[in-house]
């Protein structure tokens, strides 16, 4: 295995000597790396407060975070969210209900298609990278916002559009999170249901191309297709349902922490949050299945997701684990909200091309839009079963 310094030498040749410089003394002292890229606002010497599993928070540089990601170590960058999870939370449900809205859910499932997700993902992966501190990362977020707005205008009835808001949740780094809210009909505060994915991508070395087709372009367009189908069916929920597309997941769950912190500050009653991160890969020689994460999640909500798979999907689930802070559900769990996470397969069978230039649609026939469709079904079922349904006046 090449040393990290040797790897940086190769990268510097790829990027150009004027872009990347490093020095390391004969005693192998820590490197100082004043690096830049004309389309990035990223200082790898910037110091951040990072939380690892079972350890007190520690200050480290952005470059240290790159090292952690290269080693497969999950973390939260808590620099701007140090007080997340300090407000006591009361569980909204003693237990989650069994699925019982079949007559509402199944007709919507028949309207789901792979056409929209394919076209949307082809566009979404055409940006050089969706890194949250890159210019193309900002552009990709702006395109996603415009696509969500376009789908809302085209698919929702006039009456339903009055219940929908499409907003950017601003972040200091420029790539904003996006929140779509379908207001519920209930006159009492009976909570909010959240369905989410992350929109950013990264290469293992941040300045290199990162199409991010599976991680998490797949989850992004998966829940977008679910949203389209729901509003096209004139979905008027009893309980408010929100779709979130987070920025900066790859930077240490920055976007979702900021959103969860805001909801916590406002005493929002989030009764359930479900994350969709990587939904397209079916490893050759394995069965098609939904990976349901069972570690660092809410057990009741996780069982509810299992019940939804059994009731509405054409493939089975497999229980699997991904470790501490492996996706944005961890931000909501830290805030004390019930959170769950589904992924494309058992974790060990998931896509190994992520965080590279090879995370593309066309890299292999293992990348499957029909597999993604099963996860759109899951998102629709989650929304209707927990959001409820009221007939419009």
In the chain, the largest separation of any two C-alpha atoms, in whole Å, equals 76
For tokens 């909010």, the residue is: 192
- Would you please indicate which residues are annotated as catalytic (active-site) residues? 198, 215, 249-250, 277, 355
Helix (H/G/I), strand (E/B), else coil: 63: helix
Cβ partners under 8 Å of residue 345, min gap 6? 281, 282, 283, 286, 289, 291, 318, 320
Nearest partner of 106 among 355, 339, 348, 313, judged by Cα:
313
The span from the CA of 279 to the CA of 276, in Å, is 7
Report strand pairing: 58-61 vs 47-51. Answer: antiparallel
Burial class of residue 110 in the structure, from the number of CB atoms within 10 Å of its CB (0-12 exposed, 13-18 middle, 19+ buried): exposed
Cβ partners under 8 Å of residue 321, min gap 6? 293, 294, 295, 347
**How many residues does the structure list for the chain?**
393
């Amino acid at each position: 295995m090449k040393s990290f310094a040797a790897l940086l030498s190769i990268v510097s040749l790829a990027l150009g000597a004027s872009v990347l410089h490093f020095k390391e003394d004969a005693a192998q002292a820590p490197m100082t790396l004043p690096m830049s890229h004309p389309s990035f606002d990223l200082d790898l010497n910037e110091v951040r407060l990072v939380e690892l599993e079972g350890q007190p928070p520690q200050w480290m540089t952005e470059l240290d975070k790159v090292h952690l990601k290269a080693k497969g170590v999950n973390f939260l960058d808590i620099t701007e969210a140090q007080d997340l999870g300090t407000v006591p939370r009361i569980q909204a449900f003693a237990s989650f209900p069994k699925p019982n809205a079949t007559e509402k859910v199944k007709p919507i499932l028949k309207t789901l298609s792979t056409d929209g997700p394919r076209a949307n993902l082809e566009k979404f992966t055409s940006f050089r990278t969706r890194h949250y501190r890159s210019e193309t990362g900002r552009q990709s977020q702006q395109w996603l916002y415009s696509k969500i707005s376009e789908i809302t205008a085209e698919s929702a009835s006039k009456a339903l559009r009055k219940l929908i808001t499409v907003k950017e949740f601003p972040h200091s780094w420029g790539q904003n999170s996006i929140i779509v809210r379908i207001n519920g009909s209930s006159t009492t505060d009976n909570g909010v249901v959240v369905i989410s994915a992350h929109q950013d991508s990264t290469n293992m070395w941040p300045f290199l191309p990162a199409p991010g087709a599976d991680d998490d372009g797949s989850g992004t367009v998966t829940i977008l297709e679910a949203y389209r189908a729901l509003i096209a069916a004139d979905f008027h929920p009893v309980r408010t349902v929100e779709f979130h597309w987070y920025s900066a997941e790859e930077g240490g769950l920055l976007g979702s922490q900021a959103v969860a912190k805001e909801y916590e500050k406002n005493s929002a009653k989030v009764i359930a949050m479900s994350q969709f991160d990587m939904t397209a890969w079916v490893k050759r020689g394995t069965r098609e299945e939904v990976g349901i994460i069972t570690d660092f999640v809410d057990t009741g909500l996780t069982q509810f997701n299992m019940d939804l798979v059994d009731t509405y999907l054409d493939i089975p689930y497999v229980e699997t684990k991904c470790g501490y802070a492996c996706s944005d559900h961890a931000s909501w769990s830290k805030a004390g909200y019930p959170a769950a996470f589904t992924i494309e397969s058992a974790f060990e069978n998931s896509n190994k091309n992520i965080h590279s230039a090879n995370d593309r649609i066309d890299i292999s026939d293992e990348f499957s839009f029909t597999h993604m469709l099963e996860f759109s079904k899951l998102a629709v079922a989650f929304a209707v079963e927990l959001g409820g349904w009221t007939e419009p006046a």
